[in-house]
Chains A and B, each alone.
Chain A
Amino acid sequence: DAKTTQPTSMDCAEGRAANLPCNHSTISGNEYVYWYRQIHSQGPQYIIHGLKNNETNEMASLIITEDRKSSTLILPHATLRDTAVYYCIVRVGNTNAGKSTFGDGTTLTVKP
């Protein structure tokens, strides 16, 4: 599975969009980009994932560059409850290996 690089921390004003970047320059053609977040040392929570097209769900949007070497998670209207550590991981979707490796993530702090 490809390695990812994320900024250590970011701040965002409440009500504004939070844009969290992730670099995955060694991503392979069959690897998906997944985003999770972890609030207050709880178990990580799935947010969104994609292969090459941009994706949107009720929580966030995922923008993947055309060369797939980087992506951005967008929380359109950040709230204080979005303060968390956000993890970007890449892994092959259809593989019998199935393992997922998490890095250190980005600590997002949403401020009033």
Chain B
Amino acid sequence: NAGVTQTPKFRVLKTGQSMTLLCAQDMNHEYMYWYRQDPGMGLRLIHYSVGEGTTAKGEVPDGYNVSRLKKQNFLLGLESAAPSQTSVYFCASREQGDTEAFFGQGTRLTVV
């Protein structure tokens, strides 16, 4: 089982560049999430989705956009990267109900 797969695992961007992070899950989960984690801190929710074609803002959505065109994929976009977006990004998915979330291994993004 692949579970939750994030692509890429590492990336270095220049300020102002754009990129898309891909999250894919093979568990047919309804809910998907994007978090960021800065050094020494906990996870903060960026955006989430409760189903195909739906997205919603989390705690720290500014500077990011998301799309959920297919149930298994949740894309996180940075239109104009800033150094403040240097972080580790985690994707997670879970089924409806009182269920646990499954996390990907993270994408380490550095914006210079």
By a beta-carbon cutoff of 8 Å, the part of chain A in contact with chain B is 32, 34, 36, 41-46, 49, 51, 85, 87, 93-94, 96-105
Contacts and interface: CB of A to CB of B under 8 A. Distances in A.
Interface string B18-57: 0000000000001101010100011111001010000010
What 3 A-B pairs are tightest by C-beta distance, nearest first? A93-B98, A43-B103, A46-B100
Interface residues of B, number: 31
Contacts of B92: 43-44, 100
A43 B50 contact: no
Contact of A101 (B31, B59, B105, B106): B59
A100 B33 contact: yes
A42 B102 contact: no
Contacts of B77: none
Given A41-B106, A46-B100, A93-B97, A98 B42 contact: no
Classify the secondary structure of B's interface with A: strand
Contacts of A32: 98
Which DSSP category, helix, strand, loop or mixed, fits chain A's interface? Answer: loop
Contacts of B88: 41
A45 B106 CA distance: 12
B81 to A, nearest CB: 21
A51 B44 CA distance: 24
Contact of B100 (A34, A85, A101): A34
Contacts of A100: 33, 45, 92, 101
